[in-house]
Amino acid sequence: MKKNSKGFMLIDTLIVSITVSAILIYLYFQFANVNDSYNKAFKYNNVERLYAGADIKENILYNGKDSIYSTINSNSFVDLSDCPATYYNNTDYCNMLYSSLDIKKVLITKSNLNDLKTLMSQAANVNNYDETLRDLIKKSPDTSDGYQLFMEFNNGEAAVVWIKEA
């Protein structure tokens, strides 16, 4: 009597192909997560943007840090995006610096970020700030001393620079 083994080969092939397909799907999603993390890593605090932040920090320290610091002590943060004349002696230089560094928004805040995080999550303010900046603020830790300078750039990147109190 001759045995028919064609059915076994079909089941074996199906099991192997399903296993290989499951492994490939798993690897695809793992690679997609790694790729997403890689892309996000270049959106936040890359070297070029940290140097831009150092330039803005020096401009703040040179121009009007006392008036900015006094405003921060009464509010949770100060928006320096439009180079307000109340904080800058030379607004033309500030505008030129922001445009050359491709800066869209600049916020400076004191150690506790709870107020700023709450403000960023409110529906009325969500459209004022890009998702990249909101994510950076959410992920940033509170500092015990000093100030944090958050910057949003026109290309969708964001950076934070710490300013220690003098």
Question: Which pLDDT does position 135 carry in this prediction?
Answer: 81
Does one domain contain both 74 and 153? yes
Does one domain contain both 75 and 124? yes
Give me 105's structure tokens: 């928004």
Question: Which pLDDT does position 1 carry in this prediction?
Answer: 53
Residue type, 125: N
Does one domain contain both 16 and 78? no
Does one domain contain both 32 and 74? no
Does one domain contain both 57 and 121? yes
Report the Cα–Cα distance between both ends of the chain, in Å, rounded. 96
Does one domain contain both 34 and 56? no
Residues 57-112: tens digit of each pLDDT: 888 888 767 778 777 777 778 888 888 888 887 888 888 989 999 898 888 887 67
Q: How far is CA 23 from the centre of its chain?
A: 33
In the predicted model, what is the mean pLDDT of residues 148-165?
85
Query: For residue 25, what are the domain limits?
Result: 1-41
3-class state of residue 26 by DSSP = helix
In the predicted model, what is the mean pLDDT of residues 10-27?
92
Question: Which pLDDT does position 25 carry in this prediction?
Answer: 95
Residue 114, burial from CB neighbour count under 10 angstroms (0-12, 13-18, 19+): exposed
Question: Which pLDDT does position 64 carry in this prediction?
Answer: 66
The count of structural domains within the chain is 2
In the predicted model, what is the mean pLDDT of residues 147-157?
87
Residues 102-137: tens digit of each pLDDT: 898 888 887 677 777 777 777 666 667 778 888 888
